[in-house]
Amino acid sequence: MATSKDKNLDASHLDFKPYKPKKGEDHMSPAQTEHFRSILLQWKDALKLDLDRTVHHMQDEASNFPDPTDRASQESDFSLELRTRDRERKLIKKIDESLNLLDSGDYGFCETCGIEITLKRLEARPTATQCIDCKSLDEIREKQKI
């Protein structure tokens, strides 16, 4: 069950204007690099804020209910929240990896075939490391393994 906090697991909630490349502008120009750095840092900050809120919430809400049903319900809620936060922690790691790719000049290029990842794809998924074609092929291969 998705909670309102789960929105942070994708970049759709971030407040940014889509980048409009200038005619003849190189892929991952300095302006584009800063655009994506801003998106990644904004996303990371939002995730960290949620992680902090969760810790405080769980400390404040932790109760030792005498009723086993109430206690089980609270433990179930906490378990779901912790799983979500674990996914967010892993996402922060991917964001850090993307920031490192920005610093090294490798961000925005497919790790599989080396072509440019479209700006629209990067804005939709700023941690993308593959172009849409290579990602689609990987997903088809994964489905065939199942």
Domain hosting residue 40, numbered range = 28-145
Domain count, the chain: 1
Summarised one tens digit per residue, pLDDT across range 98-122 is 999 999 999 999 999 999 999 999 9
By three-state DSSP, how is residue 121 classified? helix
pTM assigned to the model: 0.78
Summarised one tens digit per residue, pLDDT across range 59-73 is 666 666 777 787 788
Q: Residue 58 sits in a domain of what CATH number?
A: 1.20.120.910
**Predicted confidence band at 9 (pLDDT cuts at 50, 70, 90)?**
low
- Please provide the distance, in angstroms rounded to a whole number, between the alpha carbons at the two ends of the chain: 25
C-beta of residue 50 within 8 angstroms of C-beta of residue 8 = yes
54 belongs to a structural domain = yes
By three-state DSSP, how is residue 111 classified? coil
**Predicted confidence band at 50 (pLDDT cuts at 50, 70, 90)?**
confident
